[in-house]
Amino acid sequence: MTMADATPLSLAERSLRELANAYGSDKGDRINCAHDFVRIYQRILASCREAPLRIAEIGLIHVYTQAEYAGRLDQTGCPSLRMWADYLPKAEVYGLDIADLVALGGGRIHIARGDQGNRADLEAFARSHGPFDIIIDDGSHASHHQQITLATLFPHLAPGGLYVIEDLHFQPSELEVEGISKTRDVLRRMAFPGQLLKLPITQAEYAYLLANVAAVSFFDSLSPKWSAQQAEDALAVIRKRGEHGLLPVQW
């Protein structure tokens, strides 16, 4: 289920990578973990760069950047939100973070404060700014947070929209809840819902996901910090059932 990277980069792909690297996002290939996830986003977004999309991202500033720029985060802004706003010139870009980064918004970038482990915070964010065409979870990476966020926000994704979860290969041990199934395993097993899973969401929420997820595609991280085996299936793109009209069905 992992896509190989055999084709040369297009000019547009290099441009997206340049934006990621320039703004300090580890979605590029130089900063912090350097996952190079932009190669996947390029494939998805190249055909709809001028579309009036609504894109939301959970988790806005890398923990290393927060530590390095403590007290002066205005110097960095929110790297990936700036990248999306530049790459998608007609998009409205929304961000949610547990830290108070609201002052870093402006123009087409809108930032709210909230905890992705708190359904009320997620619902308030979605009801204020959704529905969204694309949702990206780059938050705490804790399995229960990822699954609560998916269950809460997926109903606020437009038909045919895309829900992306990054860094499925890394869940911080200090945040993990013992016994909760890893999100990567949950997504892999959606095609076989009879398998036993321990989830932090309700049966109704899981049933909604099973009924409305059209496809799940996995992609590797290219970070030099992990072996190829460890970084396998590090990012998932989940497509919602229905017709979108702007986003591609395949990439």
Sequence-separated (6 or more) residues with CB below 8 Å from residue 189: 195, 197
In a domain, 228, yes or no: yes
The pLDDT, as a whole number, for residue 9 is: 52
Q: Is there a cis peptide before residue 131, judged by omega within 30 degrees of 0?
A: yes
Q: Which domain holds residue 68?
A: 11-240
Distance of alpha carbon 69 from the chain centroid: 23
pLDDT digits (tens, 9 = 90+) for 27-47: 999 988 889 999 999 999 999
- Mean pLDDT over 196-204 rounds to 90
Q: What is the mean pLDDT of the chain?
A: 89
Report d(CA 21, CA 28) in Å as an integer.
5
Number of domains observed in the structure of the chain: 1
User: Exactly one of 35, 62, 141, 156 is catalytic; which is it?
Assistant: 141
In a domain, 3, yes or no: no
Q: Does 244 participate in catalysis according to the annotation?
A: no
Sequence-separated (6 or more) residues with CB below 8 Å from residue 89: 49, 50
Of 106, 99, 96, the closest CA to residue 130 belongs to: 96
Q: Is the pLDDT of residue 69 over 70?
A: no
The pLDDT, as a whole number, for residue 132 is: 98
**pLDDT: which is higher, 65 or 170:** 170
The structure's pTM equals: 0.90
In a domain, 2, yes or no: no
Helix 203-212 vs helix 143-153: angle between axes, to the nearest 10 degrees?
70
Q: 154: domain CATH number? A: 3.40.50.150
